[in-house]
Structures are given as C-alpha cells and as structure tokens.
C-alpha cells in the first residue's frame, strides 16, 4: 500500500546476511547451535541476540538453530560457528558462505499452545508437529513444552501420536507372516532376554527382525551388548539379507532410521523424567509399526526400583497397550514380570554378553534367572503365534536352547551380521565384600546401574558390575557381593567413590518374619 520513495534510493539485498561457516567442534547432540561474534556488524545490524532462533541455509533445506553471541577470538566478524550436529545436517565445509535470517514462527507449535487451552489434537496436528521435530525445527524449550502439554493424551490422541511417530522415518515391510517382535518397558539392569529370544524363535522358524536401542541413561542397551559379539550397525539391505538367511537379527535400530523423532523426544523426556504413559506407548508402538512387526510381546517388569513400580500401574499400562495396539493393527501380548532385582550376573555390555553366551552354551554357572525368564518369554510367543499349545511354550523353548540349536542359530546370525568375536573382561577389578552376615533383602536397580555407568559402561564396553548375590542369598562377613570392572583406574575410583556414598545399594539384614 506504500512504496519506497524513488528520490532516496537505498540498496536493499540479502547479501549482507551471508556469513562464513566455521566448525566449532562442539557436541550439542541433536540440537543445532550457532555462534556469532559480538563484533560482527551484520549480527548487530540484523538485531541478532543470544538465544535468537535463526534460519541457516546452504542451498538446500534450511535448519533452525539457537544462536549465541561470543566475544572470544575464536570467531572472526563475518563468521558463523556451528555445532557438530548443525555442521553435519547442513553438509558444509570450512569458510563456505551460509545465508542467515530470523527463523519464522513455527506454525505447528500453535497446536501445542491450543492443546494447553483444551484443544484435542488431531492426526494432522501430530503429523505436522512430528515432521517439524524430526527436521530439527523445535528448540529444546519447545520440545519440553510439547512433552509437558501432552503428558496425558486421550486414547485417540495417543493413537494419532503413535501413527505420526511411525511415519517420520523408514517403514519396513517383510514378505513373511507373522513377524515377531518384543519390547521390555525397562529399568532392569542385565535384562538381555532379547539376545536369547531371537535365536530361540529363529531356530524354531519364526521371523524376528529385531532392532534394539543403545543405552541412553542405562549402563547398556541390547544394541551395545550385541555389539560386543558382532557388528550391529547394518544397512537395511544387509539387515534383509541376514533375516532372509537366518530368520532373525539383532541390530541397532538407529542404523535403519525407524521413528527417528523418538531420538529427538527422548533426550528431553529423560531430562524431565516425566511419567507419561501415552508417550511411552507411542514411542514403543511407533517403532514396532515402522519395523513391520505383526506380533509384539511387551514385558512389564514390576519392582520398587524398576520403571513400573506398582501392580495397578502395570495393569493400566497393559490395558492401554492392548487397546491401542488393536487400533494400530498390532497383535500385542503383554506380560508382567518380576522387576525387584537385576537379571543375570553382569551389568555392562561385555559382562552381559558373557552371561548370554553361558546360557546359550548351557554352562553350569549360567544365570538361571536370565535363562528362565527368556524361556518364559519365548514360550509366550511360541504359544501366541508359533502354533505351540498352551502351557507347552516354555518346554519347547527349553528344548531348542538345551539341544544347542539356539547357540547354533545365534552363531549363524552373528556370522551373517559380520562375524562373531569372544568378549574380553576388563583388567581393573575391585571386589566389594559384605561387612556383615545375613540375608540379601534388597538390591537397588538404579544404584547398581549407576555404579556400572560410573565405572565406564557402556562407552567402555568391558566396564560394569558383576553381581555375586541375588535377593534372599545368605551371606557371611567378607563374602563377595559384587565386582566392579573398569578399563582405567580413574573410572574404577569414580565408581568406588559413589559406592562409598551409597552403600545401601545392597541391603543385608535379618529376614523379616
């Protein structure tokens, strides 16, 4: 409705917003961070301030980054420093020009605001939000607001979120039926049943293309433990070859890009430690849908230091899982298991891998709890989609394991994934012994996991904790309770220091009458 007066020409262009890329060499995980010099005239004239959200373009799709202003000599005026994540996403090289502008307001965030004022979000709302998130357009602050606003979704919203999450990445299809999968709601150290289930079920003849996660806050994820024995970062093509040949695999889910928005959300969810059943269900089921599974076993361990602490909490979760699984077209079977103590002896990738091998090899000192739980879960699947009659699944699984067919299948899967290697224990070890006699009354899952992490697990795969006692074990003064393994004396010290402050990790006393 008005125009520039022609008698005062002023050159107006976007060229003044071009800055030279500089790699900061800083790891900000999934978040895109950019830094400009406080001496930069462009930065000043453009009104950029610390924490401004900016749009950065390198020809293709722009990224949105959080900007900080620096007065150090690391950046020259006219340069823009980028975090590792931003650097990789933009695919730039040092000194390359980048166009920087203010980020426009994120349209999809208005749905999050509306949710707070009572709106029920639709398929389309969640789809747009998930798309923006996976493209890195949500800041931490906005991710946190989404997670908080959506802590308690209704059933329809949970279904919409599940579907939207499953559509953010690759969707696998298999020429087999059934396609079996399992998931454990988590919180139990050492609970590596997947690595026994897969060879047992594949040896039986079922298809189980298992994608597992790495540790986020725990001392080991299944992918970390499997990686001790064989490569787990496989392309989809390679994964298909393994499954075609052996009927099963155990690979890292991150390498085949299933529900990648989950990786974005999980960082902030962990930081908030919110308990959202809707988000838990959407996270789990979106990955199963994307993985092309038809039948999924959900394991909910219940225990005072497990993720699910009470029976009634487990029941509500179970009902929700079943209801939503049905709508999204998954055959779910949910079991509740004992979550009062760690499973097996080892906690940490190498120690857990050693346990798995000892069960597969039917060694005498193999952890019976790990073996029995795995046989129980495998049995459930054999009964629900393997044609094995009720009450016979456990024994069928036991036969496959004890006849060595599971070991053979496991070795064949490792071979197909890139070759098997034996685990090697860490050189620095420290034995914690009991200073009183009595009965083991409690083992704190969270504290024992923390000690394993401080010892270096999972980044140092051979680090961790090896438990020598279980609940109800009778111990004498001086009897070993557990051994801490570390790859360096410093890490061993750190774990020991934490133990000194948290000696109640294992509680020994008189058995209550």
**Residues in region 145-204 near its own copies by CB under 8 A:** 145, 147-149, 151-152
**Do the beta carbons of residue 232 and residue 353 sit within 8 Å?**
no
- Considering the complex, state which of residue 46 and residue 322 has its C-beta at the smaller distance from its own copies: 46
CA-to-CA distance for 496 and 502, rounded, in angstroms?
A: 10
Catalytic hit among 27, 275, 338, 365: 275
Write the CA distances from 233 to 252, 417, 458, 470, integer angstroms. 6, 9, 16, 34
Helix (H) or strand (E) holding 126: helix 123-134
**Interaction of residue 430 with its own copies, rule CB under 8 A:** yes
**Interaction of residue 272 with its own copies, rule CB under 8 A:** yes
**Interaction of residue 436 with its own copies, rule CB under 8 A:** yes
**Where in 105-124 is the site for its own copies (CB under 8 A)?**
105, 109, 113, 116-117
| Other beta carbons less than 10 A from residue 422's beta carbon | 9
**Interaction of residue 471 with its own copies, rule CB under 8 A:** no
Distance of closest approach, residue 119 Cβ to its own copies, in angstroms: 13
**Which of 76, 431, 472, 511 lies at the binding interface for its own copies (CB under 8 A)?**
431
Residue 90 — φ and ψ, nearest 5°? -80, -25
**What DSSP state is assigned to residue 207?**
B
Residue 290 — φ and ψ, nearest 5°? -65, -30
Distance of closest approach, residue 73 Cβ to its own copies, in angstroms: 8
**Interaction of residue 274 with its own copies, rule CB under 8 A:** yes
**Interaction of residue 8 with its own copies, rule CB under 8 A:** yes
Strand ranges inside 151-269, DSSP E: 180-184, 208-212, 248-252
Distance of closest approach, residue 60 Cβ to its own copies, in angstroms: 22
- Considering the complex, state which of residue 47 and residue 175 has its C-beta at the smaller distance from its own copies: 47
Distance of closest approach, residue 215 Cβ to its own copies, in angstroms: 11
**Interaction of residue 510 with its own copies, rule CB under 8 A:** no
String marking each residue 299-338 x if it binds its own copies according to CB under 8 A:
----------------------------------------
Helix (H) or strand (E) holding 442: strand 438-443
**Where in 56-95 is the site for its own copies (CB under 8 A)?**
68-72, 74
CA-to-CA distance for 460 and 440, rounded, in angstroms?
A: 29
Residue with tokens 């959900």: 298
**Which of 127, 192, 238, 453 lies at the binding interface for its own copies (CB under 8 A)?**
453
* Terminal Cα-to-Cα distance of the chain (whole angstroms): 87
Chain-centre distance of CA 149, in angstroms? Answer: 22
- Considering the complex, state which of residue 192 and residue 453 has its C-beta at the smaller distance from its own copies: 453
Closest CA to 240 of 281, 207, 203, 193: 207
**Interaction of residue 14 with its own copies, rule CB under 8 A:** yes
CA-to-CA distance for 264 and 130, rounded, in angstroms?
A: 10
Distance of closest approach, residue 503 Cβ to its own copies, in angstroms: 6
- Per CB under 8 A, which region of 86-94, 271-279, 284-292, 416-424 contacts its own copies? 271-279
Distance of closest approach, residue 217 Cβ to its own copies, in angstroms: 10
| Helix, strand, or coil (residue 19) | strand
Which residues, in sequence order, are CB contacts of 60 under 8 Å at separation 6+?
91
Tell me the site size for its own copies, rule CB under 8 A: 89
Distance of closest approach, residue 176 Cβ to its own copies, in angstroms: 39
Catalytic status, residue 365:
no
**Annotated active-site positions, please?**
275
């Amino acid at each position: 409705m008005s125009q520039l007066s022609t008698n005062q020409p002023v050159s107006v262009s976007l060229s003044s917003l071009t800055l030279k890329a500089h790699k900061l060499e800083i790891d900000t995980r999934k978040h895109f961070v950019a830094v400009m010099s406080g001496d930069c005239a462009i930065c000043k004239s453009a009104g950029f301030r610390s924490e401004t959200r900016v749009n950065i373009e390198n020809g293709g799709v722009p990224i949105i980054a959080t900007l900080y202003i620096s007065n150090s000599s690391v950046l020259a005026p006219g340069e823009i420093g980028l975090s590792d994540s931003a650097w990789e996403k933009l695919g730039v090289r040092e000194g390359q020009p980048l166009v920087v502008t203010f980020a426009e307001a994120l349209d999809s965030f208005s749905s999050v605001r509306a949710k707070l004022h009572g709106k029920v979000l639709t398929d389309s709302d969640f789809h747009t939000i998930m798309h923006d998130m996976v493209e890195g357009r949500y800041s931490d602050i906005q991710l946190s607001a989404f997670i908080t606003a959506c802590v308690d979704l209704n059933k329809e919203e949970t279904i919409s979120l599940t579907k939207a999450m499953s559509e953010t990445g690759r969707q696998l299809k298999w020429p087999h039926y059934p396609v079996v999968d399992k998931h454990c709601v988590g919180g139990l150290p050492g609970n590596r049943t997947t690595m026994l289930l897969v060879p047992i079920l594949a040896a039986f003849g079922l298809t189980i293309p298992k994608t597992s996660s790495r540790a986020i806050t725990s001392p080991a994820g299944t992918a970390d433990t499997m990686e001790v024995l064989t490569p787990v970062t496989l392309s989809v093509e390679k994964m298909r070859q393994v499954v075609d040949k052996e009927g099963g695999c155990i690979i890292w889910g991150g390498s085949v890009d299933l529900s990648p928005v989950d990786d974005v959300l999980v960082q902030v969810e962990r930081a908030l430690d919110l308990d959202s059943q809707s988000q838990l269900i959407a996270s789990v089921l979106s990955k199963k849908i994307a993985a092309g599974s038809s039948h999924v076993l959900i394991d909910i361990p219940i225990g005072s230091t497990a993720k699910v602490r009470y029976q009634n909490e487990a029941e509500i979760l179970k009902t929700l899982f079943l209801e939503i699984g049905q709508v999204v077209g998954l055959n779910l079977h949910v079991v509740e298991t004992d979550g009062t103590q760690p499973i097996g002896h080892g906690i940490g990738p190498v120690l857990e891998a050693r346990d798995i091998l000892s069960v597969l090899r039917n060694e005498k000192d193999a952890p019976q709890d790990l073996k029995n739980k795995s046989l129980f879960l495998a049995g459930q699947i054999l009964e629900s989609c393997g044609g094995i009659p009720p009450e016979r699944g456990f024994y069928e699984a036991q036969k496959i394991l004890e006849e060595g067919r599971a070991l053979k299948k496991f070795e064949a899967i490792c071979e197909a994934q890139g070759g098997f290697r034996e685990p090697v224990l860490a050189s620095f070890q420290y034995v914690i012994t009991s200073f009183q006699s009595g009965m083991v009354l409690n083992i704190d899952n969270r504290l024992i996991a923390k000690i394993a992490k401080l010892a270096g697990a999972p980044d140092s795969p051979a680090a961790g904790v090896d438990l020598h006692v279980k609940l109800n074990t009778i111990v004498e003064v001086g009897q070993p309770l557990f051994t801490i393994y570390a790859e360096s004396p410093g890490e061993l010290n750190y774990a020991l220091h934490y133990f000194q402050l948290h000696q109640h990790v294992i509680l020994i006393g008189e058995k209550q009458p």
